[in-house]
Amino acid sequence: MNAPALPVLRLDMLALPGSVPGLRRAVRDHLGVPCGDVQLCVTELVGNVIRHVGEGTPVRVRVVRADGRVRVEVDDPDPRALPILLHASQDDESGRGLALLDAVALRWGVRPWADGKTVWCELVLDGAAPGHER
């Protein structure tokens, strides 16, 4: 039996480094269970907005749990700054965020729209091994 779907957690916020710990807590409180992989994905998606679109950018974060999965979506107002999966070398000091997300998510992607984009990912909440479905 699957857990019942929870209402969507929807947060409108500014993408600031200082906002990330509160965002992680809000996600954990919303899901009501340990969810380190979900928190990692939310952190990486908002961190990408901070690094590639700009600190203080308004974002909308949505988290919903249904059918044994969790979907995370982060909207930002820049349709041009698309995420790219990099393969960082051991000496690189950055470039691992999407690789981490790719490792823990079942699937992820980008949905551009006229005035921005949504970067999303889906995970199994119980920590089962991901099976990539791109």
* Tens-digit pLDDT profile for residues 109-130: 999 999 999 999 999 986 444 4
Distance CA 59, CA 23 (A): 12
* 30 close to 6: Cβ distance less than 8 angstroms: yes
The residues near 116 (Cβ < 8 Å, ≥ 6 apart) are 75, 76, 77, 78, 79
Domains in the chain with CATH codes:
9-124 (3.30.565.10)
Instruction: Look up the pTM and report it.
Output: 0.82
Q: What is the pLDDT of residues 24-69, one digit of tens each?
A: 999 999 999 999 999 999 999 999 999 999 999 999 999 999 888 9
